[in-house]
Amino acid sequence: MPENILNIIAAIAALDQRDRDLVNGLFSVQRSQGALEIPAPLAPKIARWYGRPDDSGPEAALDRARSQALVRTLNRWTLEGAVFNPLR
Protein backbone atom coordinates (compact mmCIF):
# COMPACT_ATOMS: atom_id res chain seq x y z
CA MET A 1 0.00 0.00 0.00
CA PRO A 2 1.49 3.40 -0.92
CA GLU A 3 2.32 5.81 1.89
CA ASN A 4 1.13 8.76 -0.18
CA ILE A 5 -1.86 8.92 -2.51
CA LEU A 6 0.43 10.34 -5.20
CA ASN A 7 2.13 6.94 -5.36
CA ILE A 8 -1.08 5.04 -6.17
CA ILE A 9 -0.40 4.94 -9.91
CA ALA A 10 3.03 3.39 -9.35
CA ALA A 11 1.49 0.92 -6.89
CA ILE A 12 -1.08 -0.14 -9.49
CA ALA A 13 1.63 -0.45 -12.14
CA ALA A 14 3.60 -2.73 -9.81
CA LEU A 15 0.74 -5.23 -9.56
CA ASP A 16 0.86 -8.40 -11.61
CA GLN A 17 -1.01 -8.19 -14.92
CA ARG A 18 -4.17 -9.94 -13.69
CA ASP A 19 -4.56 -7.70 -10.63
CA ARG A 20 -3.66 -4.58 -12.61
CA ASP A 21 -6.34 -5.43 -15.18
CA LEU A 22 -8.90 -5.90 -12.39
CA VAL A 23 -8.06 -2.55 -10.79
CA ASN A 24 -8.06 -0.73 -14.13
CA GLY A 25 -11.37 -2.36 -15.03
CA LEU A 26 -12.96 -1.02 -11.87
CA PHE A 27 -11.22 2.34 -11.50
CA SER A 28 -9.77 5.14 -13.52
CA VAL A 29 -6.88 6.78 -11.66
CA GLN A 30 -5.20 9.88 -13.06
CA ARG A 31 -2.61 12.27 -11.73
CA SER A 32 -2.70 15.94 -12.72
CA GLN A 33 -1.28 19.26 -11.66
CA GLY A 34 -3.45 22.05 -10.31
CA ALA A 35 -2.53 25.71 -10.45
CA LEU A 36 -3.64 28.32 -7.96
CA GLU A 37 -3.35 32.07 -8.18
CA ILE A 38 -2.92 33.42 -4.66
CA PRO A 39 -4.34 36.88 -3.92
CA ALA A 40 -1.74 39.03 -2.13
CA PRO A 41 -3.89 39.55 1.01
CA LEU A 42 -4.19 35.77 1.44
CA ALA A 43 -0.48 34.98 1.00
CA PRO A 44 0.52 35.38 4.70
CA LYS A 45 -2.23 32.97 5.82
CA ILE A 46 -1.29 30.39 3.19
CA ALA A 47 2.36 30.67 4.20
CA ARG A 48 1.35 29.88 7.81
CA TRP A 49 -0.99 27.05 6.85
CA TYR A 50 1.38 25.27 4.48
CA GLY A 51 4.73 26.29 5.96
CA ARG A 52 7.10 23.61 7.18
CA PRO A 53 9.81 23.96 9.81
CA ASP A 54 12.54 23.27 7.23
CA ASP A 55 11.29 25.89 4.72
CA SER A 56 13.82 28.57 3.84
CA GLY A 57 11.04 31.16 3.94
CA PRO A 58 7.36 31.72 3.21
CA GLU A 59 7.88 31.48 -0.56
CA ALA A 60 8.39 27.70 -0.30
CA ALA A 61 4.91 27.25 1.20
CA LEU A 62 3.41 29.57 -1.38
CA ASP A 63 5.07 27.59 -4.19
CA ARG A 64 3.55 24.37 -2.83
CA ALA A 65 0.12 26.01 -2.79
CA ARG A 66 0.50 27.47 -6.30
CA SER A 67 1.31 24.13 -7.93
CA GLN A 68 -0.48 21.19 -6.37
CA ALA A 69 -0.44 17.55 -7.42
CA LEU A 70 -3.88 15.96 -7.64
CA VAL A 71 -5.05 12.38 -7.98
CA ARG A 72 -8.46 11.83 -9.53
CA THR A 73 -10.24 8.52 -9.11
CA LEU A 74 -13.40 7.28 -10.78
CA ASN A 75 -15.28 4.10 -10.05
CA ARG A 76 -16.18 2.95 -13.55
CA TRP A 77 -19.24 1.02 -12.32
CA THR A 78 -20.90 3.53 -10.01
CA LEU A 79 -19.39 6.67 -11.59
CA GLU A 80 -18.45 7.92 -8.13
CA GLY A 81 -15.26 9.93 -8.15
CA ALA A 82 -12.93 11.75 -5.82
CA VAL A 83 -10.06 14.18 -6.07
CA PHE A 84 -7.20 13.77 -3.60
CA ASN A 85 -4.74 16.53 -2.78
CA PRO A 86 -2.03 15.53 -0.29
CA LEU A 87 -1.30 19.17 0.50
CA ARG A 88 -4.64 19.45 2.27
Average pLDDT in the 54-78 region? 93
Q: What rounded mean pLDDT belongs to the chain?
A: 92
Average pLDDT estimate for 27-35: 94
Instruction: Indicate the Cα dihedral angle 53, 58, 62, 68, nearest 10°.
Output: -20
User: 59 or 1: which carries more pLDDT confidence?
Assistant: 59
65-85 burial by CB neighbour count: b if 16+ within 10 A, else e?
Answer: beebbbbeeeeeeeeeeeebe
The confidence score (pLDDT) of residue 84 equals: 93
Region 56-85 average pLDDT: 94
Look at residue 1 and tell me whether its pLDDT is greater than 80.
Answer: no
3-state secondary structure (DSSP) of residue 63: helix
